[in-house]
Chain A
């Protein structure tokens, strides 16, 4: 099974190996070891492909999306799950339905909407999309987690005269921390890795997030410079790999807790 597992991820090993070879070496034999380490490939990732700026942008975008999501999603989830609200049931169903909508359905009108709002091809548009798109799943995950938190604390606080917002902020939100961490990890990973949404919403010309930048580099070139491509791929995959290795248990738990889409 170990052999099978290693064979399964062998394309990744090939990428790492070939990222330190020159292009002729790669084409001659994909599996041979290089004569010397071609470190200049990695330099080129920053000088030629210019990934440094986009890396900062992607990081900031991830942080912004996560910040918005972990602020507004748990509030809504708590209110929908635990408080008696007019239209609460309808809203719950509305958010649940959001889990099933494929992106292609809203893609075209969404672009028009951004154009009408005058924020076409901007980071703001991408942020708005990522947050709205992530909301149903976040609310779903938070609601699921909330079922495991006892209600008594909230009830005691209410009897002591605490208003709903104070109850949420002082008691519920801190209790949701494990769930918040899961969401930070997953959305951090997804927003960093995202190519498609950034490509469609920001366009390839202005989009300055990591994978759009890599794509631009790819489409600017007539010949595929596999050495640079692999170096870029490795550089961009290091953060997620580190995150994954460090947080492996949480990953599996988070997935099986019902976070799927």
Chain B
């Protein structure tokens, strides 16, 4: 190596460094640019615009929205339809969280214990999850139809015509109809979460329990349940989000009816913003809902981040 005077090398070195930095920057732009552009353009921007709209009385007909300050938010607190929608959404959420945490866990434990046909039976329970929302909604509408639905037809055939109900039209029953539809579609997914959790239970624990003569119930209570607690956290948050966002199933089945009985918050936003051209007010509703969801979202992000670390 010939010795080069230091002073001569350094500017060149610096330039090389700068070129490398520019190249790296360009690479970042090429690699991340498209994703950031699409994401900011069609997710972040609408979210921000939504907040701006919420301060207006825009109906979508006029060219420019009219600024009304916080009037939309004041209206919200006296909006009985909104309050009813919140109540209904929370009711459904409560049922779903209960079912998707406890029911799915019990199913997973039973499935895990199977010796024969394990794969097939698991696949059967999972199957509804892959059907389109419109398909499962149509199947349930057929089951529940008052005049010609399968449930009532079979009840009448058995001579139990008196027990036939208008499952979708009766305000007292329709919340359970919606619940059954969502629960049926989602059960496979949630029990899969639990089954994956059960795979992490070390075999030695089961062997030790067998030696101690523990029955299936105490194996569940003492071994499986404690090992499943992280999954329960995940499942309950996901079920909570499913419940709070309940929306599509309403559109394809009851469309909020009978009356306004099955308006969820999500459906109310859709009803206002898409069906009734009250974009400004709809944005206010969605913004308030979003603010309420931030707590839940923060919890989810924390969970996801912990998961990301594990991965």
A residues with a Cβ closer than 8 A to B are 1-2, 5-6, 8-9, 11-12, 14-15, 18, 26-31, 71-73, 75-76, 78-80, 83, 85-86, 91, 94-113, 128-129, 131-133, 135-136, 139-140, 143-145, 147-148, 163-165, 168, 189, 192-196, 199-200, 211, 214-215, 218, 224, 226, 229-230, 233, 236-237, 240-241, 243-245, 248, 251-252, 255-258, 260
Contact = CB atoms under 8 A, between A and B. Distances in A.
B189 interface: yes
Contacts, number: 282
B38 A109 contact: no
Nearest to A15: B139
Interface stretch (B74-82, B91-99, B205-213, B293-301): B293-301
B31 interface: yes
B173 interface: no
A25 to B, nearest CB: 12
Nearest to A7: B124
Contact of B148 (A136, A163, A226, A240): A226
Interface residues of B, number: 92
B230 interface: no
B27 interface: yes
B307 interface: yes
Interface string B9-34: 00000000000000111011011101
Given A30-B154, A131-B38, A200-B274, A194 B47 contact: no
Contacts of B247: 102-104, 196
B43 A79 contact: no
Given A110-B42, A226-B142, 19 more contacts: A12-B131, A14-B143, A29-B157, A72-B38, A75-B32, A78-B31, A94-B44, A100-B296, A105-B50, A109-B45, A113-B42, A165-B30, A194-B132, A195-B134, A195-B252, A199-B251, A233-B139, A256-B192, A256-B196
B128 interface: yes
A112 B52 CA distance: 12
B134 A215 contact: yes
Contacts of B238: 260
Given A111-B274, A163-B23, A136 B134 contact: no
Contacts of B311: 143-145, 147-148, 257-258
B68 interface: no
A135 B39 contact: yes
19 contacts: A1-B117, A1-B121, A5-B120, A14-B150, A85-B28, A103-B245, A109-B46, A109-B49, A109-B53, A113-B49, A131-B42, A135-B43, A195-B252, A199-B251, A229-B142, A241-B127, A241-B130, A252-B195, A258-B311
